[in-house]
Amino acid sequence: MKVVVIGGGMVGAAAAVALAQQGHQVTVIEAGARAVSEGDWDLRISSIHQQNVDWLVKLGTWPYIRAERRFPYTGLSVQSMDGVRVDFSHQDAGTPALGAMVENKALQAALWQQLIERQVPVYEKTSVADYQFDQQQVTLTNGDQLNYDLLIGADGTQSHVAKAARIGYRGWDYDMRCLLAIAEVEHEVAATTWEIFRPQGPYALLPLGAHRVCLIDYRSEREWQELLALPEAELYQLLEAQFAPHIGSHRVLSHGSFPLRRQRALSYHAYQSVVLMGDAAHAIHPLAGQGVNLGFTDVQELVHQVCQLPLAQALTNYEQRRVSANQRMMRAMDMIHFGFCSQHVVPRGLVALGLQSVRHITPLKRALVLRAIGYA
């Protein structure tokens, strides 16, 4: 089958590698330049859950990711506003780790390296000038024309493929912003990721190495507008004061911030030959680090379906399975977001009760941790 993938981000590149390994003739079109991972950790980091780590190992991608830009974590802890805390460990799941923190650029670069070695054509700094869906053909901005049996839209939240195929979206802005900061820590940190909820939004830590962490702080757009206007030194002091009780002495090195939006495509496929995946199909609140994980599961489902069934049936099955799973996850994120941050006594009480139950009921804890790492 001839496959054209629009968007060579983590999801599009992974789809291209997986389909090329199945013997399909794949071409990738990427509007940007090839990702290069160099210097210190970039701010765009993903917590890849263990099921997807295992899948990336099977795909052969894992060894290509710069070793210093991937870091396994074995613990995960969540604390409510009322101070109720639950600690999950890889032992609860019976796995060697719960997942790994990976620099997005390093993962994308690893996938591209695999594509290059497999001689998969990758057009960088190129996009589609014209879609001829009825002829299953695209004309690129460099004038080349490509025919396809399957066109994959993995071109992110502003998907041109979805727009051209007239696939609409439903969604909203959370009116929140997430600040990420890389910090150097004096004393060694545990390989545990944690999140603490408070009324204005959670704050969290991703371990990136014995002495490197990513600090995360969610607040309303309005609050961040004021704080981001501060001189950088003052902003860093504020962050350091907030995180010092948890990690001791540390120094913030860089920061960046991202607005939060939830959206979902109203259909995942069109013309019996066009399919959306990753953020082009669904964008989710990042508080539980599930966005690219869902995208990788999209890839696994699509590959599974197209290997077994005629394309039209494969796309229908893909949509049915992925829409329900992705929407379940989106609703779960909303429940966590609104439930954990609510100051109202009822949701607060439910959250505290829920966390106490998880703490004390071992099978429930195991079920939850397996779900979080993609094994349920």
**Footprint on this chain of ligand FAD (rule: CB under 6 A):** 6-12, 29-32, 46-47, 127, 154-156, 160, 178, 180, 258, 278-279, 286, 289-293, 295
CB closer to ligand FAD, 248 vs 256: 256
Q: What would you report as the CA-atom Rg of the chain, rounded to the nearest whole angstrom?
A: 21
State the nearest-atom distance from the C-beta of 30 to ligand FAD, in Å. 5
State the nearest-atom distance from the C-beta of 201 to ligand FAD, in Å. 12
CB closer to ligand FAD, 26 vs 31: 31
CB closer to ligand FAD, 156 vs 339: 156
State the nearest-atom distance from the C-beta of 341 to ligand FAD, in Å. 17
- 329 Cβ neighbours under 8 A, 6+ residues apart: 284, 290, 294
CB closer to ligand FAD, 213 vs 348: 213
Residue 13: burial class (beta carbons within 10 Å; 0-12, 13-18, 19+): buried
Name the phi and psi angles at 310, rounded to 5. -60, 150
CB closer to ligand FAD, 29 vs 122: 29
State the nearest-atom distance from the C-beta of 127 to ligand FAD, in Å. 4
State the nearest-atom distance from the C-beta of 140 to ligand FAD, in Å. 9
State the nearest-atom distance from the C-beta of 25 to ligand FAD, in Å. 19
Nearest C-alpha neighbor of 87 from the set 332, 355, 293, 350 = 355
Query: Does an H or E element contain 196, and which?
Result: strand 192-196
What is the distance of C-alpha 181 from the center of its chain? 17
CB closer to ligand FAD, 131 vs 243: 131
> Helices 291-308 and 10-21 sit at what angle, rounded to 10 degrees?
20
CB closer to ligand FAD, 49 vs 348: 49
Buried b (16+ CB within 10 A) or exposed e, 218-251: bbeeeebeebeeeeeeebbeebbeebeeebeebe
- Dist. CA 322–CA 81, nearest whole Å: 33
State the nearest-atom distance from the C-beta of 281 to ligand FAD, in Å. 8
State the nearest-atom distance from the C-beta of 89 to ligand FAD, in Å. 19
Sign of dihedral through CA atoms 346, 349, 353, 359?
Answer: positive
What phi-psi label fits residue 145: left (phi over 0), alpha (psi between -120 and 50 degrees) or beta? Answer: beta
**Which residues pair with residue 149 across a beta bridge?**
none
CB closer to ligand FAD, 105 vs 348: 105
